[in-house]
Amino acid sequence: MIGCGNVTEVKSGPAFNKVKDSRLLAVTRRNNVLAEDYAKRHNVPKVYSNATDLIKDKDINAVYIATPPSSHAEYALEVINARKPVYIEKPMASSYAECLKINKAAAKNKVPVFVAYYRRTLPGFLFVKNLIDTGAIGNVRFVILQLFKCPSPDEKRGNLPWRVDPKISGAGHFYDLASHQLDYLDLLFGPVQKVRSIVLNQAGLYKAEDYVSAEFTFCNNIAGTGMWSFAASPDSGRDTIEIIGEKGSIKFTTFSFEPIVLANEAGRKEFINERPENVQYYLIEKIVQSLNGQGASPSTGISAARTSKIMEEIVSEYYKGKK
């Protein structure tokens, strides 16, 4: 594992030792003291002071990249050129061009690429997909997506996280959070066919965008609208995806795991949206099975690149000449 920050503490790291036929053998981090501490707390036998030595370790046959997006491509290419499978945190890279470069190298070296869009394997999100596939709301007409958050205290003080530095993250919170939502819609309805957007910075707390609205279309005449604000008031917080069909609707959340609500001709029902202790567990399990020739991962470099492409198209006008 290259990078062992907060995302790996519970979401991903422990799952590598819980999944059958999987073992986390080594970690590295820019701060070696923190890497040693992580290894001790998570029972990881090896700690490396640099990524290259970790990648060259003959006992390691796959590498997870858990660094900020600006270094994803660099490390991924190094892993791929060592002919080892790579699992990359989302978003796949800080630009669509980098995603294409990773996939081209992977095809040349004949190694798989996986990306941490784990909602493709979470039970609640698969339940929603099954409702759609079995016709619970009939033919889907459109999707309404809303995510409103207020600025953090650090952002208000000017102590900015890397997630709002476009040189590191690719854009702002939109890339970090909306990527999960747009990738999941790709699973449900396939690639976005057309998009138009409005992208603004309203609060002036940082250079990245803090407001995005977009309209997009999928195949089969399915339409979608999305609105993301990261400078909203504290009491206006929102996290909803609503899928409207000819015979009903499905409403659920992306991040708070509220109950899934189905409303159709049979009435209104609520269903539990399970949140596993380690949310990447099911995807890591699929990846390990895939590497052992037992099925395929639903999240790959190909599917993740599509998500990066649509995000880049949405914000491209805003960032012209700014990065």
| Alpha-helical segments (H) within the chain | 6-9, 15-18, 32-42, 51-56, 72-81, 96-109, 123-133, 153-157, 166-169, 173, 179-189, 281-291, 301-319
Per residue in 160-194, pLDDT tens?
Answer: 999 999 999 999 999 999 999 999 999 999 999 99
Instruction: Give the tens place of pLDDT for each residue, 231-278.
Output: 999 999 999 999 999 999 999 999 999 999 999 999 999 999 999 999
pLDDT value for 113: 98
Distance CA 299, CA 86 (A): 12
User: What are 197's strand-pairing partners?
Assistant: 214
Domain 123-273+301-319 grouped into CATH 3.30.360.10: yes
How many Å apart are CA 171 and CA 182, to the nearest integer? 15
Contacts 24+ apart (CB under 8 A), 51-56: 51/2, 51/75, 51/78, 52/78, 53/28, 54/2, 54/26, 54/27, 54/28, 55/79, 55/82, 55/84, 56/82
Same fold flag, 6-118 and 123-273+301-319: no
Question: Hey, what are 270's tokens?
Answer: 């609520």
pLDDT of residue 281: 98
> What are the sequence ranges of the domains in the chain?
6-118, 123-273+301-319
Topology of 6-118 in CATH? Rossmann fold (3.40.50)
3-state DSSP assignment of residue 114:
strand
